[in-house]
Structure 1
């Protein structure tokens, strides 16, 4: 990984991630990354770590802003991890927990380990129930604190945090693009349009489910959010406006493609959800690889 303030994946890591080297196709890896970030996002909400929203961010206190930053930081660390490690070695559920736990410490808004484990258990139970019984109400069945499940998850959480630090070389500095976005919108005269600000802010949040924060610098990602906003709201922009921010058009267009792939229509939503849910842990990934002829 790069040692700059914006640790970016190398060309070799981009072309062949460790997971793809082990036989996981790109579309499946993207789905697993997105689902792992979705779990981090939902866990942050339930743990009152909040999630960035343009309409409320300006009214939050410093401590609340830190909580928002922790969720975004966790998602970025989660993506960086998969450029140096395969999903065959570690589960996306465990690494997501570890990333959120680590990020909450980095942003000085620590969360209790027991609460984080309980929330992840609830989310995974709910998603499994919804995938199999979409028309019935979900009822959470708490795990027993006297059984082995809780302590196994606790051990997995500790190992995940340690592996994140080790494999990222303790390079856990994250720069978020929200301040940059507001500055760019101000330069383009768009801050008076709340719909444009809110939509662009939303694209930055959605981009956290993709690897772009480990592939491109912050100005490029902020410019991509503005481009998507202008296209969907039919807002005219000056000619070659991206040159004002010293970004490359092809890179901006590429980031837009990553974000738009999140909204792509999949074949069978239920079967896709079942496949991803079955691969939250490394055991499920290894079974899938063996079934598809990639067993070691």
Structure 2
């Protein structure tokens, strides 16, 4: 697949991203990328940009892209992942860029979102994140804790206050920066149609559990950088491999008859994509979770870098 059609990160960008050059460890950057994509996904659901029925979505995908809203969410997540191969998280917050990417993607997929609605949703998500972080840090997550104290209550912002105008300005700037730093190369090739074709070729479309699980892996992979690193056939092959392993479905994999070679996918690349996806499911302790929630803005990232730098000096 031509990289002109589907732009991928260069070897230099992969070896050392701008964020890592600024002192952000690779595992932390990976977690921040995943959390930023999770916020995009949640915002899409709240904005009714996401379809929940996988089988219905597959049918729509085979028609004239009736599910443009879900496509917009997936497109935004891929643009978000590409952005961090050309820009550091020290310069822009993952919350702002996620909001800008979703706003831009809704235009690209011809299902525009009202700016005010998007700002309201991200304000709600940020308030909820702050509440969850405070609860985790206070250690009040035990069953004996008053349920009322743990409940989240959203406080709507004033449309004439500073918060709204600050978020509006951040949204406009983020959309502009995504376009500028990606060189207006915002073409995205999604894997869902390819998945349907591959499953049909392998004779697995009659298995609803296979379709659901493979589709889910492709959705989860949006929280990883793989769509900015590998071609679509490789990512789809990885989703099928994980599905076949977890559901104990035998597929030809002898040295002379490997099913992934039918799709021009390299085994090492397929296995690498599987690793990226499976790392999403690892257990995270409270410290890691609260650290990520506190680094949604560039201010939080810079504060972490400053604290970490000071600690290294003392050490």
Shift of 1:51: 4.5
2:120 is the alignment partner of 1:81: no
Distance 1:8 1:248 in 2: 17
For the 8 Å contact 1:144–1:150, the answer to whether it is kept is yes
- Residues 204-257 of structure 1: CA deviation (Å, up to 9, x unaligned): 000000000000000000000000001100000012111110110000000000
Distance 1:146 1:192 in 2: 55
Look at both structures and tell me which one has the larger radius of gyration over its CA atoms.
Answer: 2
Residue aligned with 2:309, SS = coil
Q: Cα 1:179–1:226, aligned 2, differ >3 Å: closer, same or farther?
A: same
Equivalent position of 2:179 in the other structure: 165
Q: What number of residue pairs does the alignment pair up?
A: 292
Q: CA RMSD in A?
A: 1.6
Q: What is the TM-score with the length of structure 2 in the denominator? A: 0.89
For the 8 Å contact 1:98–1:161, the answer to whether it is kept is yes
Distance 1:197 1:48 in 2: 23
For the 8 Å contact 2:17–2:84, the answer to whether it is kept is yes
Equivalent position of 2:127 in the other structure: 125
1:249 to 250, 254, 267: 267
Shift of 1:125: 1.0
The answer for unaligned runs of 5 or more in structure 2 is 136-140, 142-146
Where in structure 2 are the equivalents of 1:283-294 lying within 5 Å? 283-293=299-309
Equivalent position of 1:57 in the other structure: 57
Shift of 1:19: 0.2
Moved over 6 A (4+): none
Where in structure 2 are the equivalents of 1:1-296 lying within 5 Å? 4-51=4-51, 53-58=53-58, 60=60, 62=64, 64-133=66-135, 134=141, 135=147, 136-239=150-253, 240-266=258-284, 268=285, 270-293=286-309
Distance 1:190 1:90 in 2: 43
Residue aligned with 1:292, SS = helix
Shift of 1:54: 2.3
Distance 1:148 1:207 in 2: 36
Shift of 1:63: 6.7
For the 8 Å contact 1:221–1:252, the answer to whether it is kept is yes
For the 8 Å contact 2:51–2:67, the answer to whether it is kept is no
The answer for unaligned runs of 5 or more in structure 1 is none
For the 8 Å contact 1:51–1:71, the answer to whether it is kept is no
Q: Cα 1:179–1:59, aligned 2, differ >3 Å: closer, same or farther?
A: closer
Distance 1:218 1:62 in 2: 20
Shift of 1:52: 6.6
Residue aligned with 2:230, SS = coil
